[in-house]
Chain A
Amino acid sequence: MNGSSRAALHVRGLSHAFVRDEVLSGIDFRVRAGEVVALVGPSGCGKTTLLHLAAGLLKVQDGQVDNHFASTAFMFQQPRLLPWKTALDNIALSLKAAGVRRAERHFRARELALRLGLAHRDLDKFPHQLSGGMQSRVALARALVLAPELLLLDEPFSALDVGLKEELYRLLLAHQAERHLGVLMITHDLMEAVRLSDLILVMAPAPGRIVCRFELDRAAASRDDGWVYRHTAELLQTRAVRASFGLPPVVAAAPSPPGAGRAHAQVDTGLRLIVPPVPPVAVAGGKRCG
Chain B
Amino acid sequence: MTLLRAWLAGLPAYLWSGWGAIASLFLLLAAWEAVSLAYGPLVMPAPRAAFATLWGLLDSGAAWPELTATARRALTGYALSVVAGSVLGLLAGLSMTASMMSRPLVTVLMGTPPIAWLVLAMLWFGASDGTPVFTVLVASFPVIFIGALQGTRTLDNHLRGMAEAFRLPRRMMLTDVYLPHVVSYLFPAWIAALGTAWKVVVMAELLATQDGVGAALAVSRSHLDTAATMAWIVAVVGLLLAVEYLVLEPVKREVERWREQGT
Contacts and interface: CB of A to CB of B under 8 A. Distances in A.
A55 interface: yes
Contact of B158 (A73, A78, A85): A78
B5 interface: no
A232 interface: no
B166 A94 contact: yes
B162 interface: yes
B259 to A, nearest CB: 8
Given A83-B258, A84-B258, A96 B165 contact: no
B159 interface: yes
A287 interface: no
B161 A57 contact: yes
B252 to A, nearest CB: 13
A96 B159 contact: no
Contacts of B159: 80, 82
Nearest to B169: A97
Contacts of B162: 76, 80
A258 B167 CA distance: 50
A17 B158 CA distance: 22
Chain A interface size band reads 20 to 34
Contact of B168 (A57, A93, A128, A142): A93
B103 interface: no
Contact of A85 (B164, B168, B258): B258
Chain B interface size band reads 20 to 34
Given A74-B166, A85-B176, A96-B176, A80 B263 contact: no
Contacts of B172: 96-97
Contacts of A129: 261-263
Contacts of B165: 55, 57, 74, 76
A126 B167 contact: no
B10 interface: no
Contacts of A94: 166-167
A97 B164 contact: no
Contacts of B158: 76, 78, 80
Interface of A: 55, 57, 73-74, 76, 78, 80, 82-86, 93-94, 96-97, 126, 128-129, 142
Closest 9 A-B residue pairs measured CB to CB?
A: A74-B165, A84-B180, A80-B162, A126-B258, A84-B258, A94-B166, A97-B168, A80-B158, A129-B263
Given A57-B161, A76-B158, A142-B166, 8 more contacts: A57-B164, A74-B165, A76-B165, A84-B259, A85-B180, A85-B258, A128-B263, A129-B262
